Amino acid sequence: MSEKPPWRVAIEQFERSIGAPIEEFIKTDEFADAAANAAKGQTDMQRKLESGTTQLLHGMNLPAASDIAELRAEIAELRTEVRELARALRAPAKPEPEVPTAAKPAAAVEPAAARPKATTAARPKPKPKPKPRTATKPTTATASKSKTATATKSKTATATKSKPKPKRTAPKPKPKRTATKPKPPATG
């Protein structure tokens, strides 16, 4: 049973007859140039196909793969920022160091019992907003005309001074939902 079946012998002879010339051709510079041109042509075709597909999807107002990749990168950045902010909030607040009493002027030194305790959560009070100016009434005979003119001017001035709403660049990430167990009905 050491003999090979005839089909196997035929395949091995065929491989030997074409194997040697193919190996010699692979070692030549022409084959290397042809392989490089084929790879370049394949990447060019892939780039053109991707560009055409992107234009088609954008024409139908649908996102392309590149758009989704950008959104994923932005979401990853936002997640890292949120984690850093959460860590900063969880970290205990460091108390502010007190100024030594020798550095304070003599008139500002108070007894320890009269001094309020310093808190890290204390924030400065916000400054009050200035009140809007009111127009003075003219005393001439043309008071009604100028009154309506100033009223329309003030209305248009306030309308043009309104701040434009900031544009959003990326949608807010939705919070993850966790499965909750249904509550048992209340008895009683």
Please tell me the distance from the alpha carbon of residue 141 to that of residue 13, in angstroms, as a whole number: 120
What does pLDDT average to over the chain?
Answer: 74
Please tell me the distance from the alpha carbon of residue 118 to that of residue 98, in angstroms, as a whole number: 9
Among residues 74, 92, 110, the one where a domain terminates is 92
Q: For the segment 96-118, what is each residue's pLDDT rounded down to a tens digit?
A: 667 666 555 555 555 555 555 55
Share of the chain above pLDDT 70, in %: 48
Asked whether residue 140 is assigned to any structural domain, the reply reads no
pLDDT score of 141: 47
Residue 52 sits in the same domain as residue 78: no
Asked whether residue 82 is assigned to any structural domain, the reply reads yes
Residue 50 sits in the same domain as residue 13: yes
pLDDT score of 183: 66
Q: For the segment 122-150, what is each residue's pLDDT rounded down to a tens digit?
A: 555 666 665 655 555 545 444 444 444 44
pLDDT score of 8: 93
Asked whether residue 158 is assigned to any structural domain, the reply reads no
Reduced to 3 states (helix: H, G, I; strand: E, B; else coil), residue 52 is helix
Asked whether residue 48 is assigned to any structural domain, the reply reads yes
Asked whether residue 163 is assigned to any structural domain, the reply reads no
Residues in the chain: 188
Asked whether residue 161 is assigned to any structural domain, the reply reads no
Please tell me the distance from the alpha carbon of residue 16 to that of residue 14, in angstroms, as a whole number: 5
Residue 70 sits in the same domain as residue 80: yes
Please tell me the distance from the alpha carbon of residue 77 to that of residue 68, in angstroms, as a whole number: 14
Residue 7 sits in the same domain as residue 56: yes
pTM over the 0.75 mark? no
Share of the chain above pLDDT 90, in %: 42
Provide the number of structural domains found in the chain.
2
Domain range spanning residue 3? 1-60
Asked whether residue 77 is assigned to any structural domain, the reply reads yes
Asked whether residue 188 is assigned to any structural domain, the reply reads no
